[in-house]
Chains A and B, each alone.
Chain A
Amino acid sequence: MPGKTIRVAADVGGTFTDLVCFETDAESGQSTVRTAKADTTPPDYEIGVMNVLEKSGTDPAGVNVLVHGTTVVINALTERRGVRVGLITTEGFRDTLEIARGNRPDFFNLHYRKPPPFVPRRLRRELPGRMSYRGEEMRPLDLSGLDGIIADFQGEGVQAVAICFLHSYADPSHEVAAEAAVRDLWPEVSVVSSHRIAREWREYERCNTAVLSAYVQPVAERYLDRLRDRFEDRGFAGSLYVMQSNCGVDSLEAVSRIPITMVESGPASGVWGAAELGRLIGESNILALDIGGTTAKCALVEGGNVRIMTDYWIERDRTSAGYPIMVPVVDLVEIGNGGGSIAWVDDFGKLHVGPRSAGAVPGPAAYGRGGTDATTTDANLWLGRINRDHFCDGEVVADMAAVERTITDVGRRLGVDTDDAARGIVRIANNNMVNALKLVSLNRGFDPRDFTLVAFGGGGGMHAVALAKELGVRKVVVPESASVFAAWGMMMSDLRRDYFVTRLADLTPDEAAGIEAAYAEAVARAIADFESEGVSPERVTVTRFGKFRYRNQEHTTEIELDADPVSEASVGAIADRFHDAYEREYTYRLDAPVEMVGLHLVASAEVGKLEMTDRESTGASAEIAQKPGRTVDFASEGDHAATVYDGSRLEPGMRFAGPAIVEAPGTTIVIHPGDRVEIDGYRNVVIQVSDANGKEFPGSGAGAGTDEATGGSEGKGGVT
């Protein structure tokens, strides 16, 4: 439709499918925003997507850009709804997948259960042929047994074939040849070769990645096809992008080839949203905190950059080794602590919150659907932090009798009254989250006091200020679209691909040419990949990172490099940068040779993403947004009479102070006594946090009692 551009982001989550729609007028540049939520509809997720579109009144025919995020991959994995996979691997190593790494995190337990492989032994087959770690062919690939293997696979009902050979990261030609031969013999089957997903060493991780990718490939491919068909049936003619785990989007075609890259797309888009929001409001150092129904996730954004790694595991915890997936995933810490996390008292009188969750059914006791366990949400209701008369935006009548019953039960086991039990639940939940935030900040050598906390998800605003006080964080930002923030983040994403390649070299002038050649090869590959999909080279931005270590170490520290080619002259500066980064994280540096282990390339291209505009203060007083106040128990600071604001009526420039509650659609923000709030030009709620004793931190902006602009308005207009 001429004159306006319609961008839609649709994010399928575990419980809800969220939508954000921006309609931008070409002439004025003004956007109108719609958000909507609908139930997620497994296993036919596309139905939920169409429902939420309908609910928001958006016609697919008019949509120019659709960005889609989905849990289809992670659900297929955790619910074991993938297809039967056959594996072809190097002779002598078909048991690698089952031997795994031999580790046992629950180490005193003589009754440990080892996670079973996704492919049983009879479907793990071998071919002769061997590469060395330097990529030299030691023994040629012998494909003569392949016919028999494929015939067996067909007889066994295999639907996808994974291929992983030793040292294919160094030279993939054996995998390429085997893949072509499989396609010749059996054109209909899905084939996944490990090197197309990962070019890094560690054969078990790479092999498991190829296997899990094959396992979900037909499922994800069918889903994406159905989604596209649905949209096209309704006249959609725009561009369709799919959210990835590396904070970027990719084309539907590319994602269909390697769908495993979607595995953590939801959390990634939230983190990316926080980074993009930071760019808008001039904050480059951010702690991103996403509190949902079952988990809390946090990540660090430093200097505007998120960290992407390939050390990702599913189902790994204190009692299980889990399964590795070697794809680029945003570096985040996820803990089982969300609104629905269950509070419980162990046999020895200790209170715990999570990781078990009441989920959507039965949900927290307050839902009145038969939930018999107290959850964090129930405690927040009991303490008046959540409005019991306007629960779930007024859609659910809170069953306060059930809340009281379950929390009193926790209290009885703890030997405290109901109020103390509720406070205890909130404090334990907060402590779990503080520890997670420390993992991504303090423990990597970053001081949380140098960061702004951006909190989102349904529960972010509820806990953020208390966490900030504990960590010494001075500013908390709760975005306007906090409850659908992952969808918002998707809308702000670029087309992005991360290339990780293992390349061992001493960081010395002698090796500079070889290192540069490896980068040049990877850059050429990235450009060619994009070009084959119609993205011209001049639109592609490439950022170079390198993974370095002291010789003999195993683990690496990633350093961003300049765009200039690596040369004899530049290796010294690269080494200095490594020494500095290493010392910041680990407190010492060594006078030892530095080694490069691999490169990491980020190739990205803009896809015409949204530009947000900053609005002027309306001059209105926050009083007009007030609702009836109530007494709120802040858990750490006790009872206070809090002013309550209707979040949907807050306007740019409004200011007020805690104790206060903001009730916004899908989320509640708790503002503690002594904290000060300003609504910024993007309608974000910006909170200046006082310290734990109610005093403002030095340098946090406003003097007491003045109406001078607080830190929230700094750096406005920093639109990228």
Chain B
Amino acid sequence: MTPTFSAIASFSGPGEAGGLSSPSRRRQGTGTVGTHSPASTPPATGRTGPVAADPITLAVIQAGWTSAAEEMFAVLRKTAMSPIIHEVLDVGTGVTDGDGNLVGSGAGIPSFVGVLDKAVRRILEIHDSFGPGGVRDGDVFITNDPTYGGVTHLNDVVVAEPVFHAGVRIAWVASIGHWSDIGGMTPGSMSVAAREIYQEGVRLPAVRLFDAGRPVTPVFDIIAANSRLPAFASGDLWAQIAAGRRAAAQLRQMAATYGLDAYNAALDALFDRSERQARSGLRALPQGDYAIEEEQDDGAIWRARITIGTEAFRVDLRDNPKQRAAPHNTSRDGAVIASQMLFKALTGPSLPTTQASFRPLDVITEPGTVFHAEDPAPHGFYFETRIRLYDMLWRCLARAFPERLPAGHFGTIGGTVVAGVHPETGRSYTMVEPQMGGWGATANRDGLDCMYSTSHGDTFNCPVEICEARYGLDVAWKRMNSRSAGGAGQGRHSGGRGLTICYRPRGQATVAVGFSRHRLPVWGLAGGHDGGTNGLTVIRSNGDREDYGFASDLVVAAGDSLVIRTANGGGWGSPSNRAG
């Protein structure tokens, strides 16, 4: 039995060795990654200690990192092929320092912000263990596997590239995107029947895609051969490569303009400032020890204990169910990200996010549990597990200080995958769409109507006009839920409205969906009523109705209707106190 695992979220604690790593890849116990003291930084960055660069120059360099990450995002959006990347923007882009500490991130979704640094650090562990020259200029790496730094599930592919200046590794540029199909036992790759990760698609274990500038063509070939949509896989891959190139060029130019000393001084100053911002946000929170126990739709009981002190924000997730031979597990990294999102929301949501933003955060997990799953656990629907974890941690603190946090939101990604053959073009299609729902009311106002989940961000729904043209299905209607009396989520301030959307396939299609809060409703706060539930109802052409929370390999035909309903958010305060 592995001992209990505890580490600072930035992985700076010496106790991190063990845990996640697969037996064949030994983690290096550097104990320094994520700290900003020049003395403790590995020599790869070539730092020479504090430099007297003026604050204006430092600010200019710092703006460059953000701009590089944002540009990667823009390129990815314009060039990708999977609609879930270019339309839904289920992507993340980031710049780290030479050691994998996050310095800037682009738009996209918040739950991806904390992925890329972890991926880069894992790549470094695997490849720099070969000694100096292990990671070279012109290398590009690819990973999608939670055991190899992929964090999430096999559909999310990370492409990461080191950036060198004058022989020194000054940065990494990395992106993650949800590919429509990565192989596995069902179209879209996410099957509720998966018992092992091997059933969820091709595993890319942090391997080289380019070797010192030369493409490793067999890897490209393996990827294309393992996807049901090889043109999409190839298009998405090149989009991510191009995005990295754009950012890398900017960073190299920046280092050339300002020199390494100023560049490194700007890094130190940035980490220092974001740590101070985080600590200042932390000190503004009510200190205390808060615990929660919550039943899930499947009857499992989850538990968390959050301890807020002046110097640390600790999330203890040890007392939780064992990992399952079902695709509802998350890697420890995933659990850390759920905690990071809440910590960020509480300590300064609109401020820039870097590695140091999370220094006061401490997440404790138990290997072999659902929040620290080990190989070969399947992860296909990890995102539902993670959003419910975030929701539970949020609920834990919302009860403690209801003035600061909204009531629960609809609490699901609502991933909806429909695959088939387009009746007009004869080509295969795969729709992968999250769903929008209601957000919880706050102490000051009603909840937001029809937004994407907290795991999403600058995520766009697919226009009906594009959906009908691109896929072999029609959208019969899309309506917001009622806010009238009797609707879910009533309160002094009412929860925002969810929606119903009706898809009608024009030919046979295979469907997979995942809806949390299908049985147990969204939570109200401070006396507000609970919100609603989420789910899919299939109405067959003969009038039969079937209801689903999680499903895959569900076959539908022309004439059937897929009616998806998403929950209203929770209410805040007693409805009897509602104004007007």
Q: A residues engaging B (CB < 8 A)?
A: 91-96, 98-114, 121, 132-134, 166-167, 169, 201-205, 318-319, 347-351, 414, 416, 420, 423-424, 427-428, 431-432, 435, 438, 442-443, 504, 550-555, 586-588, 590, 592
A108 CB contact (under 8 Å) in B341, B476, B502:
B341
- Which residue of chain A lies nearest to B467 when distances are taken between CB atoms in the complex? A133
Q: Is B124 an interface residue (CB 8 A)?
A: no
A95 and B350 form a contact (CB under 8 A)? no
Question: How far apart sit A592 and B237, CA to CA, in the bound complex (Å)?
Answer: 14
Q: 7 shortest A-B CB distances, which residue pairs?
A: A107-B457, A92-B477, A108-B349, A133-B469, A109-B349, A552-B81, A201-B465
Q: B460 contacts A102, CB within 8 Å? A: yes
Q: Which of B54, B55, B86, B480 contacts A99, CB < 8 Å?
A: B480
Inter-chain contact B463/A201, CB cutoff 8 Å = yes
Task: Decide if A553 touches B238 in the complex (CB within 8 Å).
Answer: no
Q: Tell me which of A107, A349, A431, A550 contacts B458 (CB under 8 A).
A: A107
Instruction: Please tell me if the beta carbons of B59 and A351 are within 8 angstroms of each other in the complex.
Output: yes
- The answer to whether B377 has its CB under 8 Å from any CB of chain A is no
Residues of B near A132 (CB, < 8 A) are: 468
Which chain A residues border B538 with CB–CB below 8 Å? Answer: none
The chain A residue sitting closest to B64, CB to CB, is: A435
B115 interfacial by beta-carbon distance below 8 Å: no
Q: How far is the CA of A662 from the CA of B399 in the complex (A)?
A: 64
Question: How big is the B interface, by class?
Answer: 35 or more
Q: Contacts A203-B465, A554-B83, A590-B235 given: A107-B442 contact, CB under 8 Å? A: no
Instruction: List the B side residues contacting A203 at CB < 8 Å.
Output: 463-465
Q: Is the CB of A109 within 8 A of B235?
A: no
- Asked if B79 is at the interface of the complex by the 8 Å CB criterion, the answer is yes
Q: Look across to chain B and name the residue whose beta carbon is closest to the beta carbon of A91.
A: B477
| A110/B235 in contact, CB under 8 A | no
Name the one of A110, A112, A204, A435 contacting B463, with C-beta atoms under 8 angstroms: A204
Task: Please tell me if B109 contacts chain A, counting CB pairs below 8 Å.
Answer: yes
| Smallest CB gap from A445: residue in B | B246
List residues of chain B with CB within 8 A of the CB of A110: 345, 349, 394, 405-406, 454
- Partner-binding segment picked from B34-42, B273-281, B297-305: B273-281
**Residues from 25 to 43 in B contacting A, C-beta threshold 8 Å:** none
Of the candidates A93, A133, A202, A432, the one having the most CB atoms from chain B within 10 angstroms of its own CB is: A133
Complex CA–CA separation, A552 to B181 (angstroms) = 14
**Whole-angstrom distance between the Cβ of A142 and the nearest chain B Cβ:** 16
- What CA separation (Å) do A150 and B452 show in the bound complex? 34
Of B67-75, B512-520, B557-565, the one touching chain A: B67-75
Q: Mark B97-110, 1 if CB is under 8 A from A, else 0.
A: 00000000001111
The answer to whether B436 touches A99, judged by C-beta atoms less than 8 angstroms apart, is: yes
Contact of A201 among B86, B107, B466 (CB under 8 A): B466
Q: Is B152 an interface residue (CB 8 A)?
A: no
B465–A133 touching, CB < 8 Å: yes
Given A98, A104, A167, A592, which contacts B480 in the complex, CB threshold below 8 Å? Answer: A98
What 4 additional pairs, Cβ within 8 angstroms, besides A110-B405, A347-B277? A92-B477, A201-B466, A553-B80, A553-B86
CB under 8 Å from chain A, chain B span 44-85: 54-56, 59-60, 63, 67, 71, 74-75, 77-81, 83
Contact A103 B458 (CB under 8 A): yes
A96 to B479 CA separation, bound complex (whole angstroms) = 8
Residue of A nearest to B348 (CB): A108
Whole-angstrom CA separation of A555 from B79 in the bound complex: 7
Interchain CB contact (< 8 A) of B79 among A111, A351, A424, A586: A586
Question: Would you give the shortest CB distance from B330 to chain A, in whole angstroms?
Answer: 19
CA distance A427 to B469 in the complex (A): 49
| In the complex with contacts A91-B477, A431-B63, A554-B83, A104-B235 CB distance below 8 A | no
Please name the residue on chain B nearest to A635 by beta carbon. B56
Residue B226 at the A interface, CB < 8 A? no
Q: How many Å lie between the Cα of A134 and that of B470 in the bound state? A: 11
Give the CA-CA distance A58 to B235 in the complex, in Å.
60
Q: How far is the CB of A483 from chain B (nearest CB, A)?
A: 29
CB-CB < 8 A to A349: which residues of B? 55, 273
B413-454 with Cβ < 8 A to chain A: 424, 436, 442, 448-452, 454
B478 contacts chain A at the CB level, 8 A cutoff: yes
Residues of chain A within 8 A (CB-CB) of B195 are none
Contacts of B345 in A (CB 8 A): 108-110
- Answer whether residue B461 sits at the interface, using C-beta atoms and an 8 A cutoff: yes
Residue of A nearest to B455 (CB): A107
CA distance A442 to B74 in the complex (A): 13
Chain B contact residues, CB within 8 Å of chain A: 54-56, 59-60, 63, 67, 71, 74-75, 77-81, 83, 86-87, 89, 107-110, 231-232, 234-235, 238, 241-242, 245-246, 250, 273, 276-277, 280, 341, 344-345, 349-350, 353, 394, 405-406, 424, 436, 442, 448-452, 454, 456-461, 463-466, 468-469, 476-480, 499, 502
User: What is the distance, in angstroms, from A77's C-beta to the closest C-beta of chain B?
Assistant: 22
Contacts of A134 in B (CB 8 A): 424
B460 touches which of A101, A107, A550 (Cβ 8 Å): A101
Chain A residues with CB under 8 Å of B449's CB are 98-99, 114
A43 and B344 alpha carbons, distance in the complex (Å): 44
B464-A590 in contact (CB<8A) = no
Q: Are A554 and B86 in contact (CB under 8 A)?
A: yes
User: B452 to chain A: which residues have CB within 8 Å?
Assistant: 102-104
Are A106 and B350 closer than 8 Å at their CB atoms? Answer: yes
Give the chain A neighbours of B456 by CB distance below 8 A: 102-104, 107
Q: Do the beta carbons of A107 and B110 come within 8 Å of each other?
A: yes
- The answer to whether A167 and B81 have CB atoms under 8 Å apart is no
Contacts of A416 in B (CB 8 A): 55
Residues of A within 8 A of B75 (CB): 586
Residues of chain A with a CB closer than 8 A to B231's CB: 551-552, 592
Partner of A555, one of B67, B86, B480: B86
Residues of chain A within 8 A of B469, CB atoms compared:
133, 201, 504
Tell me which residues across on chain B come within 8 A of A427, comparing CB atoms.
56, 60
What separation, in Å, do the CA atoms of A283 and B107 have in the docked complex?
Answer: 36
Q: CB-nearest residue of chain A relative to B344? A: A108
- Write the nearest CB–CB distance from B127 to chain A, whole angstroms: 24
Sampled A-B contacts (27; CB under 8 Å): A94-B479, A95-B479, A99-B480, A100-B450, A102-B451, A102-B460, A102-B461, A103-B457, A108-B110, A108-B344, A110-B345, A110-B349, A110-B405, A114-B448, A133-B469, A201-B465, A203-B465, A351-B55, A420-B54, A427-B56, A428-B56, A442-B250, A552-B232, A553-B86, A554-B466, A590-B238, A592-B235
Structural contact, A555 and B242, CB atoms closer than 8 A: no
CB distance from B72 to the nearest CB of A (A): 10
Question: Chain B contacts of A102 at CB under 8 A?
Answer: 436, 450-452, 456, 459-461
Q: How far is B83's CA from A132's CA once the two chains are assembled, in angstroms? A: 20
Docked Cα-Cα span, A588 to B240, in Å, equals 11
- Residues of A near B63 (CB, < 8 A) are 431-432, 435
Residues of chain B contacted by A592 (CB below 8 angstroms): 231, 234-235
For A554, list chain B residues within 8 Å (CB).
80, 83, 86-87, 466
Beta-carbon contact of A348 and B276 below 8 Å: yes
CB distance from A422 to the nearest CB of B (A): 11
Q: How far is B469's CA from A133's CA once the two chains are assembled, in angstroms?
A: 6
B residues less than 8 Å from A121 (CB atoms): 480
A551 to B232, CA, bound (A): 9
Q: Which residues of B contact A94 (CB under 8 A)?
A: 479
Q: Is the CB of B277 within 8 A of A348?
A: yes
Contact A350 B273 (CB under 8 A): yes
B460 lies within 8 A of A588 (CB): no
Known A104-B451, A554-B83; contact A586-B242, beta-carbon cutoff 8 A = yes
Q: How many Å lie between the Cα of A104 and that of B67 in the bound state? A: 19
Residues of B within 8 A of A319 (CB): 350
Choose from B54, B83, B350, B502 the contact partner of A109 (Cβ within 8 Å). Answer: B350
What's the nearest-Cβ distance from chain A to residue B9, in Å?
A: 15
Cβ contacts under 8 Å, B466 to chain A: 201-202, 554
Q: Which residues of A contact B460 (CB under 8 A)?
A: 101-103
Q: Determine the chain B residues whose CB is within 8 A of the CB of A101 once the complex forms.
A: 460-461
Chain B residues lying within 8 Å of A435, measured Cβ to Cβ, are: 63, 67
A99:B450 contact, CB within 8 angstroms:
yes
